[in-house]
Structure 1
Amino acid sequence: MYVILVYDMKQQRVGRMLKLCRRYLHWIQNSVFEGEISEVKLAELLAKARDILEEDEDSLILFKSRTQQWLEKEVIGRERSPLDNIL
């Protein structure tokens, strides 16, 4: 499946969440990640994310699609981490 993950966290937890998400998805902008991921890997990522975030202070939003082909992406300005450079 293809996902877009966005989080908003207190400063003391941002670094840990960034490192976690970079192990599973492509970092495209501050606190925003995207990429293909299996159901098992997504469940693993979310379980580890729940250990980091404080649900009464932080948020994590996940957009899911079966494949990337059903999403249209438009970037205005410089793209921080373009995915078309991946070999």
Structure 2
Amino acid sequence: MLKLSRQYLNWIQNSVFEGEITEVKLKELKQRAKNMMEPEEDSLIIFKSRDVKWLEKETVGKEKNELDTFL
């Protein structure tokens, strides 16, 4: 997953990546990640920023934390 994520985003630390990505590239990344993941074990969490003050959280795969809000 590290090698895959580095193809699309900038590595920050451990399993954290950031960067700007087009909707097409994001869809491609999610599909390729799904193909590599164990759906009952792994997850990919995507934070979309629409505004500096707000983040939208999307989880692909198993949700490990049921909270909808975070700090």
- TM normalised by structure 1 equals 0.57
Higher strand share: 2
Shift in Å, 1:29: 0.4
Higher relative contact order (CA 8 A, sep 6+): 1
Q: What's the C-alpha RMSD, in Å, of the aligned pairs?
A: 1.3
- Give 1 or 2 for the bigger CA radius of gyration: 1
- TM normalised by structure 2 equals 0.69
Moved over 2 A (4+): none
Q: Is 1:66 paired with 2:50?
A: yes
Q: How many residues align?
A: 53
Determine what percentage of the aligned residue pairs are the same residue: 66
Shift in Å, 1:25: 0.1
Shift in Å, 1:22: 0.0
- The CA distance in 2 between the partners of 1:26 and 1:66, in whole Å, is 19
Higher helix share: 1
Structure 2's unaligned 5+ residue stretches are: 54-71
Q: Is 1:20 paired with 2:4?
A: yes
